[in-house]
Structure 1
Amino acid sequence: MELLNFTFISSCILGYIIGSFQSSYILGRIFNKIDIREHGTHNAGASNATMILGFKLGFITFVLDIYKVVLAMALVNIFFDAGKLNYYYAGLSAILGHNFPFYLKFKGGKGVASFIGFFVGIDSSLGFIMILFLSCFAIITNYISITGIFLYFIGPILVWKSSLNIEITIYSIVICFIGIYLHRENIIKIRDGKEKKLREFILDKILKRDN
């Protein structure tokens, strides 16, 4: 079991703090004077930012949510020379920070873009292949939420293959379980046929039917 030493604890804390930076919330406040969590799907994620703030700010949110996790992992290596295991912990803790930011009453996003950022931080090639694959998966299934849920199902397998560490894999399972739980309303809407489909969403945005 990973020792609860200073470097390990600091890696987790640094990851959580950086991950709690809520780009969609901040962009919503700056450009639209709104709390993004009070609109749309009521979470501070990239998909809701796209829905409420538009494609440009949604894309910026997506990129920032990815690279804040990469930043957390990189800083752990720079400041602590922490080695592979601790930057894994920093990355996973950043996802936790994104989902439960302390300064927003622990109400953040669902962590999909941040989880992608975790894999970009491990291996940029793997991360960008994952983005391409998940984009194709979203187009085929016609649901963004199903894509996020799918990522959470396969995530622990990818973490294990990359880390070969049981403690890190267990941590990733906890993160993924939380991520799936945060998608519970999407799952119910899909079951009831009420979840907005990707092509419908894009068409609404292009035709400016969706405010």
Structure 2
Amino acid sequence: MDLTSLAALIGGYLLGSVPFGLVITRALGLGDLRQIGSGNIGATNVLRTGHKGAALATLLLDSGKGAIAVLLARALFGEAEAELAGVAAFFGHCFPVWLRFQGGKGVATFLGTLIALAWPVGLVACASWLAAAAAFRISSLSALIAALVASGFAWFTGPAGLAIAASLMTAVVFWRHRPNIARILAGTEPKIGKKG
């Protein structure tokens, strides 16, 4: 691996590993997010605190860190490094070194990364999430549907690097959602906006 690829990986990971949901909820006096609801550090669990502004800020910052990682790497190095940085930011969010590798499920960072890598794929992912959320009112199910649709669209329309990046992130999204999948199948997964 050359130095530019290594820089993209490390920089992307460190940027992605910033736990914005945890930082925001603590700053607002909402408690330790890891002790609320699902214990996840992402926007959906922040919403369970009842603070919609905090949830929106977390969503924007978690998606933004993926996008920024991509855009910086692209400007400094090139497209291959941008893909590496985006995937690394996603992994940083899911497995942050600061939290003993116990991070979020990566959905917002996944969406932000895809929007920056290839905006049509990112928009398809966002539209799929919104449509599924409107239909089912279950955030985790919406995320799984959006990830699958985005990966399929990336293989259909994009270069191999983009498709591989999207598929890798999709696989991790499904892995991180294993408990949610079990609850979906059991009919016990909470609806969007329900407090923990």
| TM-score of the pair, normalised by structure 2 | 0.89
Percent identity, please: 26
> CA, structure 1 residues 15+53, in 2 after alignment: closer, same or farther (shift >3 Å)?
farther
> CA, structure 1 residues 172+120, in 2 after alignment: closer, same or farther (shift >3 Å)?
closer
The CA deviation at 1:158 is 3.4
Any idea what SS the aligned residue of 2:18 has? coil
Match of 2:143 in 1: 148
1:99-110, aligned counterparts within 5 Å? 99-110=94-105
- Whole-angstrom distance in 1 between the partners of 2:155 and 2:15: 24
User: Does structure 2 conserve the Cα–Cα contact (< 8 Å) formed by 1:32 and 1:53?
Assistant: no
2:66 to 58, 66, 69: 69
Q: Does 1:181 align with 2:175?
A: yes
Name the amino acid aligned to 2:9: C
> CA, structure 1 residues 123+169, in 2 after alignment: closer, same or farther (shift >3 Å)?
closer
Match of 2:27 in 1: 30
Q: Does 1:10 align with 2:7?
A: yes
Match of 1:194 in 2: 188
Q: Does 1:164 align with 2:138?
A: no
Name the amino acid aligned to 1:26: V
Q: Does 1:45 align with 2:30?
A: no
User: Does structure 2 conserve the Cα–Cα contact (< 8 Å) formed by 1:28 and 1:53?
Assistant: no
- Whole-angstrom distance in 2 between the partners of 1:180 and 1:194: 18
- Whole-angstrom distance in 2 between the partners of 1:6 and 1:165: 22
Match of 1:207 in 2: none
Further displaced range: 169-178 or 141-150: 169-178
Higher radius of gyration, 1 or 2: 1
- Whole-angstrom distance in 2 between the partners of 1:184 and 1:77: 33
> CA, structure 1 residues 159+91, in 2 after alignment: closer, same or farther (shift >3 Å)?
farther
2:112 to 109, 117, 134: 117
- Whole-angstrom distance in 1 between the partners of 2:146 and 2:125: 9
> CA, structure 1 residues 11+158, in 2 after alignment: closer, same or farther (shift >3 Å)?
farther
Further displaced range: 23-32 or 121-130: 121-130
- Whole-angstrom distance in 2 between the partners of 1:154 and 1:129: 8
> CA, structure 1 residues 127+177, in 2 after alignment: closer, same or farther (shift >3 Å)?
closer
- Whole-angstrom distance in 2 between the partners of 1:179 and 1:108: 12
Tell me the C-alpha RMSD between the 2 structures.
2.1
Structure 2, unpaired ranges of 5+: none
Matched positions, count: 196
- Whole-angstrom distance in 2 between the partners of 1:178 and 1:149: 11
Any idea what SS the aligned residue of 2:28 has? helix
> CA, structure 1 residues 136+117, in 2 after alignment: closer, same or farther (shift >3 Å)?
same
Structure 1, unpaired ranges of 5+: 205-209
Name the amino acid aligned to 1:116: L
- Whole-angstrom distance in 2 between the partners of 1:59 and 1:190: 24
The CA deviation at 1:129 is 5.2
The CA deviation at 1:125 is 5.6
- Whole-angstrom distance in 2 between the partners of 1:56 and 1:149: 24
- Whole-angstrom distance in 2 between the partners of 1:119 and 1:174: 12
User: Does structure 1 conserve the Cα–Cα contact (< 8 Å) formed by 2:122 and 2:150?
Assistant: no
The CA deviation at 1:9 is 1.4
